[in-house]
Amino acid sequence: MIDGKQLTIHEVSQLLKSRQVSSCELTRAALEQIQKVEPQVKAIVTITEELAIKQAKQADERIARGEGSPLNGIPALIKDVICTRGVRTTCSSKMLENFVPPYDATVMEKLNDCGVVVVGKANMDEFAMGSSTENSAFFTTRNPWDLDRVPGGSSGGSAAGVAAGEAIYALGSDTGGSIRQPASFCSVTGLKPTYGRVSRYGLVAFASSLDQIGPITGDVTDAAIVLNAIAGFDTRDSTAVPLPIPDYTQCLTGDIKGLRLGIPREYFVEGMQPEVAAAIKAAIYRLEELGANIDWGVSLPHTPYALAVYYIIAPSEASANLARYDGVKYGFSYKDTDNMWEAMEKTRQHGFGAEVKRRIMLGTYALSAGYYDAWYLKAQKVRTLIRREFDSAFEKYDALVTPTSPTVPFKIGEKVEDPLQMYLSDVCTLPVNIAGLPAISIPAGFADGLPIGLQIIAKPFAEETLLKIAHAYQQVTEWHKRRASV
d(CA 190, CA 443): 9
Query: Any contact of residue 409 with ligand GLN (CB under 6 A)?
Result: no
The β-bridge partners of 260 are 293
Residue 158 annotated as catalytic: no
Interface residue with ligand GLN, options 120, 130, 182, 262 (CB under 6 A): 130
The β-bridge partners of 403 are 454
Our CA angle for 110, 2, 108, nearest 5°, is 10
Phi then psi for residue 444, to 5 deg, are -140, 20
Q: Which C-beta is closer to ligand GLN: that of 178 or that of 441?
A: 178
Contact 160/136 with Cβ under 8 angstroms? no
Query: Any contact of residue 170 with ligand GLN (CB under 6 A)?
Result: no
Query: Any contact of residue 141 with ligand GLN (CB under 6 A)?
Result: no
The burial class, CB within 10 Å (0-12 / 13-18 / 19+), for 446 is middle
Interface residue with ligand GLN, options 33, 90, 154, 212 (CB under 6 A): 154
Interface residue with ligand GLN, options 23, 133, 136, 178 (CB under 6 A): 178
Query: Any contact of residue 129 with ligand GLN (CB under 6 A)?
Result: yes
Q: Which residue among 13, 158, 178, 425 is the active-site one?
A: 178
Query: Any contact of residue 406 with ligand GLN (CB under 6 A)?
Result: no
Query: Any contact of residue 134 with ligand GLN (CB under 6 A)?
Result: no
d(CA 141, CA 313): 27
Stretch 206-235 residues interacting with ligand GLN (CB under 6 A): 206
Closest to 261 in 3D by CA, of 303, 289, 228: 289
Q: Which residue among 22, 42, 69, 79 is the active-site one?
A: 79
Query: Any contact of residue 131 with ligand GLN (CB under 6 A)?
Result: yes
Interface residue with ligand GLN, options 128, 216, 252, 408 (CB under 6 A): 128
Query: Any contact of residue 193 with ligand GLN (CB under 6 A)?
Result: no
| Closest CB 438 distance from ligand GLN, rounded Å | 14
Measured CA to CA in angstroms, residue 280 lies from 346, 397, 413 at distances of: 48, 18, 27
Query: Any contact of residue 176 with ligand GLN (CB under 6 A)?
Result: yes
Span interacting with ligand GLN, options 125-133, 279-287, 345-353, 447-455, rule CB under 6 A: 125-133
The burial class, CB within 10 Å (0-12 / 13-18 / 19+), for 208 is middle
| Closest CB 127 distance from ligand GLN, rounded Å | 8
Per DSSP, 344 falls in state H
With the CA atoms of 290, 292, 296 and 297 taken in that order, what torsion angle do they form, in degrees rounded to the nearest 10? 170
Interface residue with ligand GLN, options 80, 104, 126, 174 (CB under 6 A): 174
Q: Which C-beta is closer to ligand GLN: that of 131 or that of 187?
A: 131
Q: Which C-beta is closer to ligand GLN: that of 178 or that of 303?
A: 178
Query: Any contact of residue 152 with ligand GLN (CB under 6 A)?
Result: no
Does residue 287 sit in helix, strand or coil? helix
Q: Which C-beta is closer to ligand GLN: that of 129 or that of 457?
A: 129
d(CA 434, CA 381): 11
Our CA angle for 386, 387, 392, nearest 5°, is 100
Span interacting with ligand GLN, options 109-117, 122-130, 237-245, 465-473, rule CB under 6 A: 122-130
Interface residue with ligand GLN, options 426, 432, 464, 466 (CB under 6 A): 426
d(CA 84, CA 101): 6
d(CA 27, CA 23): 6
Q: Which C-beta is closer to ligand GLN: that of 250 or that of 421?
A: 421
Residue 54 annotated as catalytic: no
d(CA 195, CA 208): 10
Residue 459 annotated as catalytic: no
Span interacting with ligand GLN, options 66-74, 173-181, 249-257, 283-291, rule CB under 6 A: 173-181
Measured CA to CA in angstroms, residue 25 lies from 1, 50, 55, 77, 462 at distances of: 10, 14, 12, 17, 37
d(CA 197, CA 330): 29
Query: Any contact of residue 321 with ligand GLN (CB under 6 A)?
Result: no
| Closest CB 310 distance from ligand GLN, rounded Å | 7
Query: Any contact of residue 314 with ligand GLN (CB under 6 A)?
Result: yes
Span interacting with ligand GLN, options 58-66, 71-79, 123-131, 395-403, rule CB under 6 A: 123-131
Q: Which residues bind ligand GLN (CB under 6 A)?
A: 128-131, 154, 174-178, 206, 314, 426
Active site residues: 79, 154, 178
